Copies of this chain bind each other. A is one copy, B any other.
Amino acid sequence: MTGATVTDLYEVTMALAYLHEGLTARATFSLFVRALPPDRGFLVAAGLVDVLDHLDGFAVDGDDVADFAAALGRPVAELAPLRGLRFTGEVRAVPEGRIVLAGEPLLEVTAPLPQAQLVETLLLNQVVHQTALASKAARCVLAAGGRPVIDFSLRRTHGVEAGMHAARAGAIVGFAGTSNVAAAVAYGLPASGTMAHSFVQAFPDESTAFAAFARTAPGPVTLLVDTYDTDEGVRRATRVLRVLPADRAIGIRLDSGDLAALATRARRVLDDAGLHRARIVASGGLDEYAIDALQAAAAPIDVYAVGTKVGTSADVPYLDAAYKLVECAGRSVMKLSAGKMTLPGAKQVHRGPGCTDVLALRDEDAPPGTEPLLETVMRDGRRCVPRLPDDVAVEAARRRFRADLAELPPVLRAIHRPATLRPAVSPALQAVTDEVRNRLDRQTRCTLTLRH
């Protein structure tokens, strides 16, 4: 669901006021994450594709105006000035999959003020939560130290759309597959799955269930062994798996209990039966913290399946993001609210080796040896980068993430309390910031003086 009514009401009210007041000059808004939570050392940009799909063709039609009027309880005529409003602006953004630090714009919109305002809600909605999911998923990949991680989150995400985004975010950071069939098809991902406890329970006993699964499963035979007694389940699974042809992909899944201990015992049973090729899949409330602990314990787990906690980014289900006006009719602006100060002006991030980033004004010269993070992706309301097929877009993002990850300093990779790196602020940006702050301080002081 998209469309102009997917917005906070105040965007509508403000856009209308701008039109009435003739404030239609170009303005720039910057979308960024103010500060990272304690257990995030970096962000992975995601959500841009949905933003461009929304903006490319964004238009307020008669039905939208009628809905605005209904929502406000006002006559349609009062909202009529918004009718026909299209997005004709420019978008500069960090491509999906790139690693971003706190305070760096993920996206900047430059457009006539009413347009840039009206699209705020959806841009935040899409970019922030997809970036949160990708950043969480990336930590799982780091924790797993090269072992495959698989997305099992669809049943616990905040709706189907969020489930699609979770699978996609995982794919961007290198997950080996997803349980989500729709996402696998849409994004060209390997689909993955084992069996549920209900499957085991649907048969008279566990061994019968395992045998039936081995007989009928179109894909790998991965048997869930913890429905009753896990160690016993492993032995029963082994008896079924050992008679399968040697070219059949086989494994077991552990979904509860002390996964490290159970995996160690299971590995021994499987190996004793000559089933060295059988993979042990672990699941059950896993996230990067649990994976890290299992890796530290050298648990013989071959595949980590993550669900609930990763698909909801459970420890940090939101990011402290903002879409702030930074330039308006050629004037740099900023906000002074307690703890929420913003830096004025349209910006660029210049990335040096090892994420040594410089946050600069948009038109500053790039420092030597750096590359710009923000690219122009939309001009005059139209995409100026191709709309890639969904699977190709994911693959491109995955390549970007892999490249950036190679440059990510080890201190930012820590699972527990990673360091927080912030970009350096260029002298020119600092000068503009000081200048705008002084101007605002003078205004405030002046008003205070007049009152006393």
Please tell me if A73 contacts chain B, counting CB pairs below 8 Å.
yes
Nearest neighbor of A328 in chain B, beta-carbon distance: B202
Q: In the complex, which of the residues B1, B74, B181 contacts A219, with contact meaning CB atoms closer than 8 Å?
A: B74
CB distance from A80 to the nearest CB of B (A): 11
| Cβ–Cβ < 8 Å partners of A229 in chain B | 336, 444, 448
List chain B residues, Cβ under 8 A from A339.
Answer: 256-257
Contact residue among B160, B192, B257, B333 (Cβ-Cβ distance under 8 Å from A2): B160
1/0 per residue A387-419: CB within 8 Å of B? 000000000000000000000000000000000
A192 CB contact (under 8 Å) in B9, B124, B219, B444: B9
A298 within 8 Å of B (CB atoms): no
Cβ of A228 within 8 Å of any chain B Cβ, yes or no, is yes
| Chain B hits for A333, CB < 8 A | 201-202
Q: Which residues in B have their C-beta under 8 angstroms from that of A185?
A: 5, 67, 70-71
- Which residues of B have CB within 8 Å of A448? 229, 232
Docked Cα-Cα span, A313 to B334, in Å, equals: 31
- Which residues of A (192-239) have their CB < 8 Å from a CB of B? 192-199, 201-203, 205, 212-213, 215-219, 226-230, 232, 235-236
The stretch of A15-23, A95-103, A137-145, A365-373 that contacts the partner chain? A15-23
With A158-B158, A197-B335, A338-B257 already in contact, the answer to whether A179 and B20 are too (CB < 8 A) is no
Asked if A218 meets B78 with Cβ closer than 8 Å, knowing A160-B6, A199-B17, the reply is yes
Q: List 8 A-B contacts (CB under 8 A).
A: A72-B191, A125-B155, A125-B159, A125-B163, A128-B155, A202-B333, A256-B338, A256-B339
Tell me if A324 is interfacial: C-beta within 8 Å of chain B: yes
CA distance A91 to B228 in the complex (A): 28
Decide if A252 is an interface residue (CB 8 Å cutoff): no
**C-beta contact mask, A338-375 vs B, less than 8 Å → 1, else 0?**
11100000000000000000000000000000000000
Rounded to whole Å, the gap between the CB of A232 and the closest CB of chain B is 6
Most central of A8, A78, A219, A338 by chain B CB within 10 Å: A8
User: In angstroms, how far is the closest chain B Cβ from the Cβ of A30?
Assistant: 11
CB of A182 within 8 A of CB of B1, answer: yes
Chain B residues within 8 Å of A288, by CB: none
Q: A8-B152, A9-B179, A117-B198 are in contact. List 12 more A-B contacts (CB 8 A).
A: A1-B164, A7-B154, A8-B154, A10-B195, A16-B216, A70-B184, A122-B160, A128-B155, A162-B162, A197-B325, A201-B334, A227-B337
Residues of A within 8 A of B (CB): 1-3, 5-14, 16-18, 20-21, 23, 27, 29, 67-68, 70-74, 78-79, 113, 117, 120-122, 124-126, 128-129, 133, 152, 154-165, 179-182, 184-185, 191-199, 201-203, 205, 212-213, 215-219, 226-230, 232, 235-236, 255-257, 308-309, 312-314, 317-318, 321, 323-325, 328, 333-340, 440, 443-444, 447-448, 451
Per the bound structure, the CA–CA distance linking A440 and B200 in Å amounts to 12
Which listed residue, B156, B181, B226, touches A338 by the CB 8 Å rule?
Answer: B226
Q: What 6 pairs across the A-B complex have the smallest Cβ distances?
A: A10-B193, A9-B193, A71-B191, A158-B158, A198-B325, A159-B161
Q: Give the nearest-CB partner of A116 in chain B.
A: B198
Q: Smallest distance from the beta carbon of A284 to chain B beta carbons, Å?
A: 9
Tell me which residues across on chain B come within 8 A of A164, comparing CB atoms.
1
Residues of chain B within 8 A of A217, CB atoms compared = 13, 17
Given contacts A10-B179, A113-B202, contact A228 B160 (CB under 8 A): no
Of B68, B157, B337, which contacts A129 at CB under 8 A? B157
Give CA–CA (A180, B144) in the complex, Å: 39
In the bound complex, how far is the Cα of B156 from the Cα of A318, in angstroms? Answer: 7
Which residue of B is nearest A18, CB measured? B202
Instruction: Give min CB distance, A343 to chain B, whole Å.
Output: 13
Q: A232-B447, A235-B451, A318-B309 are in contact. Are A337 and B197 (CB under 8 A)?
A: yes
Partner of A325, one of B120, B129, B201: B201
Once the chains bind, are A125 and B160 in contact (CB under 8 Å)? yes
A180 → chain B closest CB, angstroms: 7
For A121, the chain B residues whose CB sits under 8 A away are 154-155
CA distance A133 to B312 in the complex (A): 13
